[in-house]
Amino acid sequence: MTADIAVGLREEVRSTVLQLLERRTDQATICPSEVARTVAGKTGADPKGPSWRAAMPVVHATIDQLVADGLVELSWKGKVIASRHGPYRIRRVQPAR
């Protein structure tokens, strides 16, 4: 993957994450594979085919950046996790209680 393609894909992933979350309730989460499948579908690839899996490294890296930017947080089984490891879900940053 060339640097230009990777940058374009990161921008597409970032936009997709924020759009998917905007369509859901504040507490709702999305799966990183849902993001990859959506991006693969937008680029004309078969979202059920293997191409979405190729986007996963860029999805993970973009999610890491969104966490660092304070735009999203990660959770697993309803509990916030500090960093991406193992399975995880993505949600909007929740206000402090």
State pLDDT tens for residues 27-81.
899 999 999 999 988 766 655 555 788 889 999 999 999 999 999 999 999 899 9
Structure tokens at 86: 């193992």
Tokens read off for 42? 């937008």
Could you tell me the two tokens for 90?
A: 């993505």
CA 18 to each of CA 25, 68, 75, 91: distance values in angstroms, whole numbers, following the listed order: 12, 15, 16, 9
Q: Is the pLDDT of residue 12 over 60?
A: yes
Amino acid at 97: R
As beta bridge partners, residue 89 has 75
| Mean pLDDT, range 72-97, rounded to an integer | 90
| pLDDT the model gives residue 54 | 87
pTM score, two decimals? 0.84
Nearest to 88 by CA among 68, 97, 67: 67
pLDDT band of residue 22 (cuts 50, 70, 90) is very high
